[in-house]
Amino acid sequence: MSSVLDEACDTVAIPLPPPPTGMKVSGMDRRWTLGLVGLVAFALVWASPSSGIVSTTLWASPASVMPNTVRPLTSAPQPVAQTQPPARMAHAAIASRVSKPVPTMMARGLTPHAVPLAPGPRRSWGLYTACLAGVLLTLALGLRLQAWRALHKAPDRIVMTAVAGDGEIKVPDDFKPPEPKTFALPKGEELRVLLAALPAVPRLYLGIIVNGWAPSVANDDDGGQQYSIARLFGKKLVEKSTTPPATRPEQPLQLWEFQGCPYCRKVREAITFLDLDVQFFPCPKDGPTYRADAKGTRGWKTFPHMIDPNTGADLASSGEIIDYLFEIYGGGAQVPFLLGSNPLNMVTLFMAALLRIGPGSSYVASRKPAKPLELWAYEPSPFSVIARETLSELELPHILHPCARGSANRDALVARAGRFQVPYLEDPNTGVKMFESTAIAKYLYDVYALPK
């Protein structure tokens, strides 16, 4: 089942390529969007335990799916002379619950030992949920469409413009890394950051903390050499994992994936949750390097695909990858519900994909670096999303150091860069080290994107 779903990730073509100037939505795009909304609505109806078309073997208890459930009647009640039906239950209500007309049987003096019960009325909460989800998705997609148009209409809003050049990797002469600003939105890019934050909502911000995250208060005696979100009166708030990875890989794991794939997102969330360093080989649509190699030379049919150089494991589906990671590097810990194989997981993954259609999913012609770049980030962060989307669409290999709350990589980044802020990029090909998401995106386009 998992491999079939992963194949769909590659063939349904969830990501749509962003237009360079303006946006014109074709009839096919509209039908595609409406089809996915309908798919999500149907999945919600099917997955709801109170829906009339629910799969009884999945949600209902054994007693509720037995059609021959009976109620024993040992004796016929004596007739009572009265003009009103009994206060406890009306005859009409009784008749609605049995398969034969009880009053007629009682009038003949019959004493049935068992009368089959007819199923009671079902509430259509699943249908209500589906309708509400459809309305919310329509509003979200409308916001996305309007913002996309605004983002591409104004020339001064397009910050990712490639400089002139051939195949040489060169930093622009006027380039200067920006000063990092904690919790500050880039001027003029507020809407872009807001849209990047939307996909994390249906996923309940999975990946914002590591496995076994536990905050505590400790003495502030490290001289600022370790990460802490708050320091006050000689104390600091410490965030650690009580269940760090059972084994840290000596070499980074290798993952072939692309940003817009919902099943790739699930694997990225698992990587962040387990705090594992991974080398990414982006495979955007029409990518000539890693995607072509994966489907051609290697013969892979689906994404994501992972190779563990430490054990030689070759894993070909999201479910297989996640089970492997939790078994080998998670100490056999139980896979969280939203990372498992269940209908709710599918629905939230596709909702997240719908809310972020396009960026990072289609190839932009680029130069290839000799060494992989290094990125400190974590999945739910909208700032990290912007940087990762750019790396993906430019097909730039990079090593991700996940920095969820409680991650050991937060302390490592403070020791390395003097502060903690994500995303943080180091480019060994140019020597550039920088913070700030939109500045990172512009830098990557200026240095690696080929001019049109």
Q: Mean pLDDT lowest for which of 102-111, 226-235, 336-345?
A: 102-111
Q: Where does the pLDDT of residue 130 fall: very low under 50, low under 70, confident under 90, or very high at 90 and above?
A: low
Q: What is the pLDDT of residues 246-279, one digit of tens each?
A: 778 999 999 999 998 999 999 999 999 999 999 9
Q: What is the mean pLDDT of the chain?
A: 76
Number of domains in the chain: 1
Q: What is the pTM of this model?
A: 0.69
pLDDT score recorded for residue 310: 96
**Does any domain span residue 314?**
yes
**Does any domain span residue 185?**
no
Domain that holds residue 435: 199-212+250-448
Q: For residues 89 and 359, which has the higher predicted lDDT (pLDDT)?
A: 359
pLDDT score recorded for residue 182: 85
Give just the sign of the alpha carbon dihedral 265, 271, 277, 281.
negative
430, pLDDT greater than 50: yes
Residue 150 has, within 13 A of its CA and on its CB side, a CA count of 12
70, pLDDT greater than 50: no
Q: How far is CA 260 from CA 3, 319, 359, in A?
A: 18, 18, 7
**Distance of alpha carbon 355 from the chain centroid:** 10
**Does any domain span residue 393?**
yes
401 contacts 409 by C-beta, under 8 angstroms: yes
pLDDT score recorded for residue 141: 61
Q: What order do you get walking across the sheet with 235-241 strand by strand?
A: 213-219, 235-241, 231-232
pLDDT mean over 358-386: 95
pLDDT score recorded for residue 187: 84
List phi, psi (to 5°) of 87: -70, -30
pLDDT score recorded for residue 357: 86
pLDDT score recorded for residue 12: 41
367 contacts 167 by C-beta, under 8 angstroms: yes
pLDDT score recorded for residue 140: 58
**Does any domain span residue 398?**
yes
pLDDT score recorded for residue 104: 44
330, pLDDT greater than 70: yes
**Does any domain span residue 312?**
yes
pLDDT mean over 238-249: 84
Give percent of the chain with pLDDT exceeding 90.
50
Q: Mean pLDDT lowest for which of 112-121, 125-134, 229-238, 264-273?
A: 112-121
pLDDT score recorded for residue 416: 96
**Does any domain span residue 297?**
yes
Q: What is the pLDDT of residues 27-62, one digit of tens each?
A: 434 444 555 555 555 555 454 444 444 333 333 333
Q: For residues 280 and 42, which has the higher predicted lDDT (pLDDT)?
A: 280
**Does any domain span residue 153?**
no
CATH number of the CATH domain containing 266 = 3.40.30.10
Q: Of the segments 84-88, 119-123, 184-188, 429-433, which one has the largest average pLDDT value?
A: 429-433
Measured distance between the N- and C-terminal CA atoms of the chain, rounded to whole angstroms: 42
Q: For residues 220 and 55, which has the higher predicted lDDT (pLDDT)?
A: 220
Count other Cβ atoms within 10 Å, centred on residue 155: 8
**Does any domain span residue 417?**
yes
Query: Which residue from 277, 256, 399, 266 is spatially nearest to 329, judged by alpha carbons?
Result: 277
